[in-house]
Amino acid sequence: MSKATLFSLPRPGLRWLPVWRRNFLVWRKLALPSVLGNLADPLIYMLGLGYGLGALLPEIGGVSYVSFLAAGTVVASTMNAATFEALYSGFSRMHVQKTWDAILNTPLTLDHVLAGELVWTASKSLLSGLAILLVIAMLGLSASPLALWTIPVIFLTGLTFGALGLIICALAPSYDFFMYYFTLFITPMTLVSGVFFPADQLPPLLHAIAAWLPLSHAVQLARPLLNGQIPANAGGHVAALACIATLAFYVATILTRRRLLK
Amino acid sequence: MVTLSPEDALSVSDLRKSYDGNEVVAGIDFRVTRGTCFGLLGPNGAGKTTTLRCCLGLTVPDGGTIRLGGHTVPEEAEKARANVGVVPQFDNLDPDFTVRENLIVYGRYFGLSNAAIDARIPDLLDFAGLVGKADARIQTLSGGMKRRLTLARAMINDPDIIFLDEPTTGLDPQARHLIWDRMKQLTTRGKTLILTTHFMDEAERLCDRLAILDHGRMITEGAPRNLVATHIEPQVVEVFGDEAADWAREHDTLGERIEVAGETAFFYCQDVAPLLSALHDQPGLRYLHRPATLEDVFIKLTGRELRD
C-alpha cells in the first residue's frame, strides 16, 4: 500500500450505518446477558464500596462517598464497556469470525467498517452508562437536571475509549494481548483518575500526569454535572476527549489498513 | 438496466505486487469475457489470492492496470464491487444469525432496502437448496449448506460477476456436484465466474478458459481441452507396484515422457500399444490406462515437488 493510501484520512460518510445495524442486531439477540454484565458488576462495586466504605468516610467535596463514587462509576463503566467491545468483540469480528473480511467484499470499505464499529462501541457503552445513571437517579444520589448533560459526556467517553480500543485490536495477535492493555493502562488509569478517591490525594507529580489521562477528563465532567454544578474548564475537557478520540481513531484506521489491506 | 458493453468483465494487465522485496505477482495478464467461467489455477503461493485481492481492490498493486465490470480498480473499486459477488475461501457467515438474517444484513452492505432483500430471499434460498431453512441458525447447517448459503449471499445484489475462491474445498462429492450445477446455471444466465481451485476436474469441467500461475507468473492460458491437447501427450498409463520404478527405467523407450513418483511410474504416450503389450507380460505390475487430463498438464508445468 502506498504511503498516501495508508495515511489518507478516513472518509466513512454515513455508509457505516449497515455495520452498526449488524452489531445492533447481534446485541438485540444477546441483550439480556450483555445488559446484566454491563450493569450488575459496576453496580455491585458502587453500592458495596459506596455504602460499606462510605460509612467509614467523611463527605467528599460536600457529598456522601456513595454519591462521589457514583459519578466515577458512570464513566469507569462506560470506559470498560467501550473497551471490552472494541477489544474482545471487535477482535472476534475482525480476526476470528472474519466478519470484516466479508464486509470488505461489498461496496463498503474498511473506513466504513471502522466508523461503524466505533459508533457502535460508543452506543453500547452509552447504554451501560445510562443504566448506571438510571440507578443513581432512582437511589436519589443525583437530582439536578444538569445530570442529563452526563449523557453526551458518556457518549464522548465511549467514543474515546472505543477508538483507543480499536488501536489495541489492530495490534493484537490474540485475545491474550488485551491483558497488557488492561493491566498496564486501564486499571492504573482507573485508580489515578479520581474514580474511587479525589485525584488530588495523589503525589503531585502523579496527579499532574493523571490529569492528562482521558478518564480524568471524563470524571471531571461527569462528577460536577451529577452534583448539579457546571464543570470547571468544561470546554477544555470536552476538547481533550474529542482530540484523543479523533487522533486514536485515525491511528486505529492506519493500523487496521496495514493489517487487513496489505 | 442491462448494459450491453463489449468490454470484458475483467481485464488485468501487467499486474505486479511485492511483499518485502519478494515479487508475489510478477506481471500477470488475462481477460475474462462476459458470461464465461475463468479459472485461476496454481500451486499454493503461486499468487492466486493476491491476484484476486487486487482485482477486488482490497490490495493495491505495485503496477499494472485492472478493469472490473467497466471500472478501474482500485480507484473505483467501491463502484466495481457493487456489481460483484464473492464466495470467499473460508466461510465467514455471521454465526449469531439465522440464514435469513445473514442475507438481510449482507444485503444492507450493498445499500439494499429490507423490502428489496426480502423479495429476493425466496429465490436465493431456492437456488441454494435451502428452502425451509430461512430461520435455521448457522450452527445447525452442514458444511455444504453453509457453502451454498455463502453462494446465495454472494448473489444478494444480483451481481454480473462472481468470484469463487476454492468454492468446493472440504465438501463431500454430493455437495460439490450441487455447487457445480449452480455454477453452470449462473453462466447459463449470463453471469461471469472467476474461479480458483485446486481440483483439476472441477476446472476442466467448469472453466471456459483458465490460466495456470506459478511463482507469480502466468505459465499458460487457454481452454482446458486445448491446454491438454497442446501441452501433453494424449494417453497416460500409470504403472504401480514395488518394481514399477525400476521397470520404467528399463523400458523408457515405451513412452514419450516418463515420470516416477514414489511407487508409481507415469508413461505419457502418443501410442500405448507397445507399452500395454509389454505390461501384459508383467503380472507383478498393475496399471491404469487413461486419457491425459488437465492435472497432467498442471503437474508437467508446475512440477511434482510439494509447495508449502
CATH superfamily of B10-223: P-loop containing nucleotide triphosphate hydrolases (3.40.50.300)
Say whether pLDDT at B284 is over 90: no
The reply to whether residue B105 touches residue A21, judged by beta carbons under 8 angstroms, is yes
β pairing state of B286-291 and B235-240? antiparallel
Chain A residue with CA closest to B157: the answer is A106
Residues of chain A found within 8 Å of residue B81, distances taken between Cβ atoms: 105-107
Whether A85 is in a domain gets the answer yes
Strand-by-strand arrangement of the B217-222 sheet: B84-87, B161-165, B192-196, B37-41, B209-214, B217-222
Average pLDDT over residues A120-144: 92
Among B87, B105, B112, most A C-beta atoms within 10 A, so best to mutate, is: B105
Say whether pLDDT at B2 is over 50: no
Unique residue bearing C-alpha cell 498516501: A4
Instruction: Tell me which H or E stretch contains B73.
Output: strand B71-73
Q: How far is CA A3 from the centre of its chain?
A: 30
The reply to whether residue B92 touches residue A99, judged by beta carbons under 8 angstroms, is yes
The reply to whether residue A107 touches residue B110, judged by beta carbons under 8 angstroms, is yes
For residue B58, give the nearest of A22, A25, A261 by CB distance.
A261
Backbone angles phi, psi at A146, to 5 degrees: -60, -25
Backbone angles phi, psi at B179, to 5 degrees: -65, -45
The reply to whether residue B60 touches residue A1, judged by beta carbons under 8 angstroms, is yes
What is residue A115's predicted lDDT score, i.e. its pLDDT?
97
Tell which residue, A91, A88, A113, has the closest CA to residue A37.
Answer: A88
For residue B59, give the nearest of A21, A101, A261 by CB distance.
A261
In angstroms, the CA B151 to CA B163 distance is 10
Q: Are B285 and B220 in contact (CB under 8 A)?
A: no
Alpha helix ranges (H) inside chain B? 48-55, 77-81, 99-109, 114-127, 143-154, 173-188, 200-206, 224-231, 244-250, 273-280, 294-302
Tell which residue, B31, B26, B1, has the closest CA to residue B14.
Answer: B26
Q: Are A61 and A46 in contact (CB under 8 A)?
A: no
Unique residue bearing C-alpha cell 495508508: A6
For residue A262, give the nearest of B59, B96, B106 by CB distance.
B59
Whether A15 is in a domain gets the answer no
Q: Which of residues 107-146 of A touch B (CB under 8 A)?
A: 107-109
In angstroms, the CA A137 to CA A127 distance is 15
The reply to whether residue A106 touches residue B109, judged by beta carbons under 8 angstroms, is yes
Chain B residue with CA closest to A98: the answer is B92
Number of other CB atoms surrounding residue A53 within 10 Å: 14
Average pLDDT over residues A64-91: 95
Give tens-digit pLDDT for B9-63. Answer: 999 999 999 999 999 999 999 999 999 999 999 998 899 999 999 999 999 999 9
For residue A123, the distance in angstroms to the closest alpha carbon of chain B comes to 19
Lowest average pLDDT, out of A2-6, B49-53, B139-143, B226-230, goes to A2-6
What is residue B272's predicted lDDT score, i.e. its pLDDT?
92
Whether A262 and chain B come into contact, CB under 8 Å, resolves to yes
Position with higher pLDDT, A4 vs B36? B36
Share of chain A above pLDDT 70, in %: 100
Three-class secondary structure of residue B147 per DSSP: helix
Q: Are B251 and B199 in contact (CB under 8 A)?
A: no
Chain B residue with CA closest to A1: the answer is B60
What is residue B303's predicted lDDT score, i.e. its pLDDT?
85
Whether A115 is in a domain gets the answer yes
What is residue A38's predicted lDDT score, i.e. its pLDDT?
73
In angstroms, the CA B220 to CA B104 distance is 41
Share of chain B above pLDDT 70, in %: 97
Lowest average pLDDT, out of A27-36, A67-76, A192-201, B221-230, goes to A27-36
Q: Are A160 and A245 in contact (CB under 8 A)?
A: yes
Ordered DSSP codes for chain A: --HHHHHSPP--TTTTHHHHHHHHHHHHHTHHHHHHHHHHHHHHHHHIIIIIIGGGS--BTTB-HHHHHHHHHHHHHHHHHHHHIIIIIHHIIIIIS-HHHHHHTSS--HHHHHHHHHHHHHHHHHHHHHHHHHHHHHTTS---GGGGGHHHHHHHHHHHHHHHHHHHHHH-SSGGGHHHHIIIIIHHHHHHTTSSS-GGGS-HHHHHHHTTSHHHHHHHHHHHHHTT-PPTTHHHHHHHHHHHHHHHHHHHHHHHHHHH--
Residue spans per domain, chain B: 10-223, 233-291
Residues of chain A found within 8 Å of residue B101, distances taken between Cβ atoms: 25
Say whether pLDDT at B3 is over 50: no
The reply to whether residue A1 touches residue B86, judged by beta carbons under 8 angstroms, is no
Instruction: Tell me which H or E stretch contains B97.
Output: none
β pairing state of B161-165 and B192-196? parallel
Cell numbers at B246, concatenated: 525400476
Q: Which residues of B touch A (CB under 8 A)?
A: 19, 56, 58-60, 78-79, 81-82, 84, 86, 88, 90, 92-97, 101, 105-106, 108-111, 157
Tell which residue, A73, A83, A80, has the closest CA to residue A118.
Answer: A83
Give tens-digit pLDDT for B155-185. Answer: 999 999 999 999 999 899 999 999 999 999 9
Three-class secondary structure of residue B288 per DSSP: strand
Average pLDDT over residues A173-198: 96
User: What is the overall mean pLDDT for chain A?
Assistant: 94
User: What is the overall mean pLDDT for chain B?
Assistant: 93
In angstroms, the CA B213 to CA B23 distance is 13
Give tens-digit pLDDT for B113-139. Answer: 999 999 999 999 999 999 999 999 999
In angstroms, the CA A86 to CA A77 distance is 14
Is the ipTM higher than 0.85? The answer is: yes
Residues of chain B found within 8 Å of residue A15, distances taken between Cβ atoms: 111
| Alpha-carbon distances, residue B78 vs A39, B31, B68 (angstroms) | 40, 21, 11
Cell numbers at B152, concatenated: 446465495
Position with higher pLDDT, A50 vs A219? A219
Lowest average pLDDT, out of A12-16, B34-38, B77-81, goes to A12-16
Say whether pLDDT at A36 is over 90: no
What is residue B156's predicted lDDT score, i.e. its pLDDT?
97
What is residue A11's predicted lDDT score, i.e. its pLDDT?
82
What is residue B252's predicted lDDT score, i.e. its pLDDT?
86
- What count of Cα atoms within 13 Å lies in the side-chain half-sphere of residue B117? 20
How many domains does chain A divide into?
1
Q: Are B255 and B238 in contact (CB under 8 A)?
A: no
For residue B92, give the nearest of A21, A22, A97 by CB distance.
A97
Among A106, A108, A117, most B C-beta atoms within 10 A, so best to mutate, is: A106
Tell which residue, B213, B121, B200, B191, has the closest CA to residue B166.
Answer: B200
Structural domain for A140, as ranges: 31-260
